A and B are shown apart, each in its own frame.
Chain A
């Protein structure tokens, strides 16, 4: 932060102390960053090693021979699951974002009696442990004969995505001046026309945040997937966990690491390219802090 010009400049000694403090801060931050990168480093180098090098004594070394064989092997094992993930994540993100947008619009600009209570009840849905709905949800889907395929998972991500999407859109629309909506009303525009002509055209940033947020959380979900899908519709998290087995000594770690990286690429790429929107989704999860 820039020093204000109205305040007399600090004495030379204070400047030196400031530089020293800055160097210490930078060093500490750098050391923590290196520690944070260790798992990433491990993931990357092990994924490119042949099996003969994925051993204890070479664990931290760079590969002597770089290979993409692991990638080819795990692609064969993961590609159907990756496709399932896409088939779940794309429709569920879009549907929950659209519902969130409508809810957010009404809760911010077209309030009805007890709107606060409804909003609070929605928000609680954001925090519930999904274990508390899991058994009934599964039973209901079984008795309605809706199990199988990716439908149960799409349904779950749509429904349980509504709270966070509503929250993001409501806070976004709250910043739009009420006067604009009122003017539309006075001119006789109904709720949908006001939405289509005034609200929707400015909603792109909020859609970006919700779509990215929903995409990431649905892609990374594991709990709903193990409860609600069968082998033919397993998304990539479940398939990845199956490939890795449960801790036997003979598991080829090089392939596991390649698989973990492959399964994480979509969300990592989104984070690196669109981190700004990813961040805003994160902050929305903290309500208004």
Chain B
């Protein structure tokens, strides 16, 4: 190990951030867990340690299982949809095309806007009113003679959460496009050329050479979309407000803190959210750092 004189100044310079992250990330997470393990079900009460009781009790509540189910449906639709659309856009743009810069600007623009603002627009677009009272997409479909597409959007008990995935797909698929496009263009031309010389068609070059190289990009995209999806909040507030039909853990937690005023339950829900995110992110972080180190950085 090098002498302390060579590394101590660096540690000192980072120490303010280490303290801030230590207190506000790890300290607060610990505090939140402690709250979740207590029976502090009213803000003014002192909580006593009750172990995992809150974590177990939550599963007997219909609202919780409903919220978890909704989050799963939303995640499948949103992550799946944004991945497929983003990948398709990246693939179509890869070889370059007239107006590429303008197209990319359009696909990425939704990323720059808040979920609250886009949520308001989509609330108007996904207005469930039928036929002549229809606004937004229902009116558009009716005008185009596509009456079979007119539907209840997010107010449908069956497909509500799937419809809620649409604005999220709209907002994030440009980002996924950018990731895949960078990935596609990062595949060395030599590799493609070698495959062509071996007699592969362009299509085979993609399937056999380019796409296998994109696994790390795909993994990043899944992690980013997945962790966003598990904590979706603003979009739902803006489109639906707090409706049971589109309830998710983040909304449930918000209600427990501000309406019901049950800190222990709010903290329990937050803890489950953290555990879900940690389960996907921690292996990914370890894998990334290890890979980086093995590449000699």
Residues of A within 8 A of B (CB): 1, 4, 7, 22, 25-26, 28-30, 32-33, 36-40, 42-43, 46, 55-57, 59-60, 99, 102-103, 105-107, 110-113, 115-116, 118-125, 127-137, 140, 158-160, 162-163, 166, 174, 190-192, 216, 219-223, 226-227, 237, 240-241, 244, 246-247, 253, 256-257, 259-261, 263-264, 267-268, 270-272, 275, 278-279, 282-283, 285-289
Contact = CB atoms under 8 A, between A and B. Distances in A.
A106 B14 contact: yes
A188 B4 CA distance: 16
27 contacts: A33-B106, A37-B106, A39-B122, A103-B14, A106-B10, A112-B10, A121-B21, A122-B21, A124-B282, A128-B277, A131-B250, A131-B273, A132-B29, A133-B28, A133-B32, A136-B28, A136-B31, A160-B24, A222-B115, A222-B234, A223-B233, A240-B116, A240-B117, A247-B240, A260-B120, A289-B179, A289-B220
A5 B35 CA distance: 68
Could you tell me the dominant secondary structure of chain B's interface residues? helix
Contacts of A253: 124, 135
A51 to B, nearest CB: 14
A137 B254 CA distance: 14
Identify which of A116, A124, A216 gathers the most chain B CB atoms within 10 Å of its CB.
A124
Interface in B172-230: 174-175, 178-179, 182-183, 189, 193, 196, 216-217, 220-221, 223-224, 227, 230
Q: What 5 pairs across the A-B complex have the smallest Cβ distances?
A: A246-B241, A220-B114, A110-B10, A271-B112, A133-B28
A135 B266 contact: yes
A289 B230 CA distance: 21
Interface of B: 1, 7-11, 13-14, 16-18, 20-21, 24-29, 31-32, 35, 85, 89, 92-93, 95-98, 103, 105-118, 120-125, 129, 132-136, 139-140, 143, 170, 174-175, 178-179, 182-183, 189, 193, 196, 216-217, 220-221, 223-224, 227, 230-231, 233-234, 237-238, 240-242, 250, 253-254, 257, 263, 266-267, 269-271, 273-274, 277-278, 281-282, 285-286, 288-289, 292-293, 297
A110 B10 CA distance: 6
B123 to A, nearest CB: 7
Contacts of B16: 99
Contacts of B13: 102-103, 105-106, 110, 191-192
Nearest to B257: A135
B109 A56 contact: no
A128 B274 contact: yes
Nearest to A155: B24
Given A246-B242, A267-B113, A267-B114, A162 B20 contact: yes
Contacts of B257: 134-135, 227
Nearest to B253: A131
B175 A133 contact: no
Given A56-B134, A122-B17, A133-B25, A191 B263 contact: no
B114 A237 contact: yes
Contacts of A190: 9
A224 B91 CA distance: 37
